[in-house]
């Protein structure tokens, strides 16, 4: 039996890093202090919002707008003055939180709310060999995962389900549910006042339609091909952000254009264009301040139009006050949220979709699942339970746990979950650090590779990439390759079969990216998979190949390699041959 006084000493000397001082973090810090932990450091980038007060019990009304990490530290010290609790009001992504920093701690406890930060801490703990207890909650659902290097799965061993996204053509052309209109309205806001992302354009798009539904009969869409709508931001600037003209562009002109894409409306009810002046006749229009207060009943269309107009004026002022900093969507910004709600409802109305209250639209736009204090409390309790086992050296006893929303048939809401071994194909914690990237090489830009693939998808912070066949630098985090960002991958001699050795110095993380072409993809569209997909048409051929044939090929390849090695002239071709062989071993066709 473990001896409490002996173990208590370990608790007193263990150095703990807590990342996040929100719902789970507050409970966790309280538990650590109450259990007798003496050396704790907490990091949180955020300040306290009034909406946090119902569950983040260390915070009071007078703390609103102060640093979460700082107030949590101050309040905990009040009831446990002996604790050496320190804080940073910073993002965990800052460079000073490097691997050596993580190495200073005996254990890291995550109380975060986003995948990007979780992935990052997972990699840092992996590199620093520091045990990590990961956690999360969403409403009544909660979970705790223990991550021990080489012993358990890491946070990235299994692919996480992607956040639900909608096809571009549904959002731009054929919404059928209110959520499609809400997503569209968020894009309208970004197009008008945020950083323009061409992938999020809101104008009707015949090309997207053709790309996503090539099978559709578009012979009678010629009229639409003749007049292509211009981008929303460009239009808005041209009319000096006049609300009435923007309204008429979005809800009259663009809708007339959509109606010309005939095949869309063969099986759907077509939308009805609605002008600014006609919309004002649809119901009573409440004054701006009154409708702002009225979040739970459904605004009339006339109220939405007034709201649309008032919000554009306010947002234009806000954007002009700081022209170098585009606005970004924030569900807690009342004007932005009112604009999105109004805009989404007008769109819903003209597409014959029932309108919703601003409150309901906020929940959809902000992806909000109400936080439940008791789920957070159970999760935080389990984090400390598992942390104590780890620091006592009882690693065989550690367990993952889950809290579920509905009791199981046995009436359980709390359960232990399986502790899985590390995934041998995990590109973070296994030796197989590789992924397969499917892209259209003639269309994807270097900027797309950097921002969308390496940063957003593979979660690197400052990626570098070298094309292994030629040993040439493709992407450099020191800015050397910045002038090439708009170049297409094909222009940079990246081809089907290229291998990109990508790494992130800060995370001490490297991954080989095997490039495979998919000419059906548009622009920066891509797909990343952990195992290469078999080309459909080649599958049958390969099965037909007799074993003898395969053996003969192996033999020939071996012979070739021996010959090549004996005629080796310089280093570079040798690098290339090895890489080519490596690619062949993966079954990728190499184009030289």
Ligand X SMILES: Nc1ncnc2c1ncn2[C@@H]1O[C@H](COP(=O)(O)OP(=O)(O)OP(=O)(O)O)[C@@H](O)[C@H]1O
Which pair of tokens denotes residue 319?
A: 């954007």
Q: Which residues pair with 466 in a beta bridge?
A: 473, 501
Under DSSP, is residue 332 helix (H, G, I), strand (E, B) or coil? coil
Kindly list the distances between the CA atom of residue 145 and the CA atoms of 11, 156, 195, 338, in Å, as whole numbers in the listed order. Answer: 20, 12, 37, 39
Q: Does 426 bind Zn ion (CB under 5 A)?
A: yes
Contact criterion met (CB below 8 Å) for 507 and 463: no
Contact region with Zn ion (CB under 5 A), list: 395-403, 419-427, 453-461, 533-541: 419-427
C-beta contacts of 568-575 below 8 A and 24+ residues apart: 572/470, 572/471, 575/468, 575/469, 575/471
Among 29, 45, 69, 429, indicate the residue that binds Zn ion (CB under 5 A). 429
Q: Does 22 bind ligand X (CB under 6 A)?
A: yes
Q: How many residues does the chain have?
A: 592
Q: Which is nearer to Zn ion, 426 or 506 (CB)?
A: 426
Q: Has 502 been annotated as catalytic?
A: no
Q: Which is nearer to ligand X, 256 or 333 (CB)?
A: 333
Under DSSP, is residue 255 helix (H, G, I), strand (E, B) or coil? helix
- Dihedrals phi, psi of 178, to nearest 5 degrees: -65, -35
Q: What is the dihedral of CA 521, 522, 524, 528, to 10 degrees?
A: -10
x/- letters, 114..143, toward ligand X (CB under 6 A): x--x--------------------------
Of residues 169, 304, 311, 516, which has the active-site annotation? 169
Residues near 133 by beta carbon (within 8 Å), at least 6 away in sequence: 107, 108, 109, 110, 144, 145, 146, 147, 383, 386, 387, 390
Q: Which is nearer to ligand X, 145 or 218 (CB)?
A: 145
Given ligand X, Zn ion, none, residue 168, with its beta carbon under 5 to 8 Å by kind, binds none
Contact region with ligand X (CB under 6 A), list: 108-116, 505-513, 517-525, 535-543: 108-116
Q: Does 146 bind Zn ion (CB under 5 A)?
A: no
Owner of token pair 């490097």:
98
Q: Does 371 bind ligand X (CB under 6 A)?
A: yes
Residues placed in the known binding site for Zn(2+): 154, 157, 426, 429
- The residue number whose beta carbon is nearest to Zn ion equals 426
Provide the phi-psi class of 372: left if phi over 0, else alpha when psi is between -120 and 50, else beta.
Answer: beta
Contact region with Zn ion (CB under 5 A), list: 211-219, 233-241, 425-433, 507-515: 425-433
Q: How far is the CB of 375 from ligand X (least distance, A)?
A: 11
Among 11, 18, 20, 437, indicate the residue that binds ligand X (CB under 6 A). 20
Residues placed in the known binding site for ATP: 20-25, 44, 52-55, 68, 91-92, 113-118
Other beta carbons within 10 angstroms of residue 592's beta carbon come to: 7
Q: Does 46 bind ligand X (CB under 6 A)?
A: yes
Q: Does 456 bind ligand X (CB under 6 A)?
A: no
Q: How far is the CB of 68 from ligand X (least distance, A)?
A: 5
Q: Alpha helices, DSSP H only, in 323-400?
A: 334-350, 358-365, 373-391
Given ligand X, Zn ion, none, residue 43, with its beta carbon under 5 to 8 Å by kind, binds ligand X
Q: How far is the CB of 297 from ligand X (least distance, A)?
A: 24
Q: Does 157 bind Zn ion (CB under 5 A)?
A: yes
Under DSSP, is residue 172 helix (H, G, I), strand (E, B) or coil? helix
Kindly list the distances between the CA atom of residue 167 and the CA atoms of 175, 191, 200, 249, in Å, as whole numbers in the listed order. Answer: 10, 18, 11, 23
Q: Does 93 bind ligand X (CB under 6 A)?
A: yes
Q: Does 154 bind Zn ion (CB under 5 A)?
A: yes
Residues near 370 by beta carbon (within 8 Å), at least 6 away in sequence: 139
Q: How far is the CB of 357 from ligand X (least distance, A)?
A: 20
Given ligand X, Zn ion, none, residue 48, with its beta carbon under 5 to 8 Å by kind, binds none
What DSSP designation does 215 have?
T
Given Zn ion, ligand X, none, residue 92, with its beta carbon under 5 to 8 Å by kind, binds ligand X
Q: How far is the CB of 19 from ligand X (least distance, A)?
A: 6
Contact region with ligand X (CB under 6 A), list: 107-115, 184-192, 214-222, 433-441: 107-115
Contact criterion met (CB below 8 Å) for 197 and 207: no
Q: Does 24 bind Zn ion (CB under 5 A)?
A: no
Active site residues: 169
Name the site residues for Zn ion (rule: CB under 5 A). Answer: 154, 157, 426, 428-429
Name the site residues for ligand X (rule: CB under 6 A). Answer: 20-23, 25, 43-46, 51-52, 68, 91-93, 112-114, 117, 371
């Amino acid at each position: 039996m473990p001896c409490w006084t002996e173990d208590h000493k370990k608790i007193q000397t263990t150095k703990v890093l807590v990342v996040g001082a929100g719902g789970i973090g507050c409970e966790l810090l309280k538990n650590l202090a109450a259990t007798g932990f003496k050396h704790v450091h907490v990091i949180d980038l955020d300040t306290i919002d009034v909406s946090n007060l119902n569950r983040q019990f260390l915070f009071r009304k007078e703390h609103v707008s102060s640093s979460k990490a700082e107030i949590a530290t101050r309040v905990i010290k009040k009831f446990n003055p002996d604790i050496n609790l320190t804080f940073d009001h910073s993002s965990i992504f800052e460079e000073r939180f490097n691997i050596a920093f993580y190495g200073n701690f005996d254990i890291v406890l995550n109380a975060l709310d986003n995948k990007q930060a979780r992935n990052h801490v997972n990699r840092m703990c992996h590199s620093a060999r520091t045990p990590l207890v990961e956690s999360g909650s969403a409403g009544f659902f909660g979970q705790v995962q223990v991550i021990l290097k080489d012993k358990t799965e890491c946070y990235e061993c299994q692919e996480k389900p992607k956040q639900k996204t909608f096809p571009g053509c549904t959002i731009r052309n054929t919404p059928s549910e209110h959520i499609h209109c809400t997503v569209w309205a968020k894009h309208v806001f970004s197009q008008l006042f945020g950083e323009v992302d061409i992938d999020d354009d809101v104008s009707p798009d015949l090309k997207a339609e053709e790309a996503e539904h090539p099978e559709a009969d578009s012979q009678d869409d010629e009229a639409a091909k003749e007049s292509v709508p211009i981008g929303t931001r460009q239009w808005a600037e041209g009319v000096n952000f006049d609300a009435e003209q923007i309204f008429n562009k979005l809800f009259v002109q663009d809708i007339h254009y959509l109606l010309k894409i005939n095949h869309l409306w063969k099986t759907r009810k077509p939308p009805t264009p609605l002008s600014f002046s006609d919309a004002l006749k649809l119901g009573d229009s409440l004054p701006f301040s009154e409708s702002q207060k009225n979040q739970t009943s459904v605004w009339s269309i006339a109220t939405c139009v007034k709201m649309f107009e008032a919000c554009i004026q306010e947002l234009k002022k806000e954007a002009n006050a700081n022209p170098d900093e585009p606005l970004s969507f924030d569900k807690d910004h009342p004007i932005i949220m009112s604009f999105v709600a109004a805009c989404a409802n007008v769109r819903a109305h003209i597409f014959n979709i029932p309108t919703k209250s601003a409150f309901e639209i906020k929940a959809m736009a902000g992806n909000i699942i109400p936080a439940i204090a008791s789920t957070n409390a159970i999760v935080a309790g389990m984090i400390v339970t598992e942390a104590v086992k780890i620091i006592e050296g009882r690693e065989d006893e550690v367990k993952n746990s889950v809290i579920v929303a509905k009791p199981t048939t046995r009436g359980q809401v709390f359960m232990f979950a399986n502790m899985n071994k590390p995934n041998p194909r995990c590109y973070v914690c296994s030796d197989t650090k590789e992924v397969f990237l499917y892209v259209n090489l003639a269309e994807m830009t270097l900027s797309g590779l950097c921002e969308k693939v390496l940063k957003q998808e593979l979660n690197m912070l400052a990626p570098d990439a070298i094309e292994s066949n030629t040993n040439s630098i493709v992407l450099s985090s020191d800015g050397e390759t910045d002038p090439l960002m708009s170049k297409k991958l094909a222009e940079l001699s990246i081809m089907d079969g290229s291998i990109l050795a990508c790494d992130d110095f800060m995370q001490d993380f490297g991954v080989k990216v095997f490039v495979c072409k998919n000419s059906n993809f548009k622009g920066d569209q891509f797909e990343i998979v952990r195992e290469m997909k078999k080309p459909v048409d080649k599958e049958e051929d390969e099965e037909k190949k007799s074993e003898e044939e395969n053996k003969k090929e192996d033999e020939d390849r071996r012979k070739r390699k021996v010959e090549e090695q004996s005629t080796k002239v310089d280093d570079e071709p040798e690098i290339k041959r090895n890489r080519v062989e490596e690619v062949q071993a993966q079954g990728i066709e190499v184009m030289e």
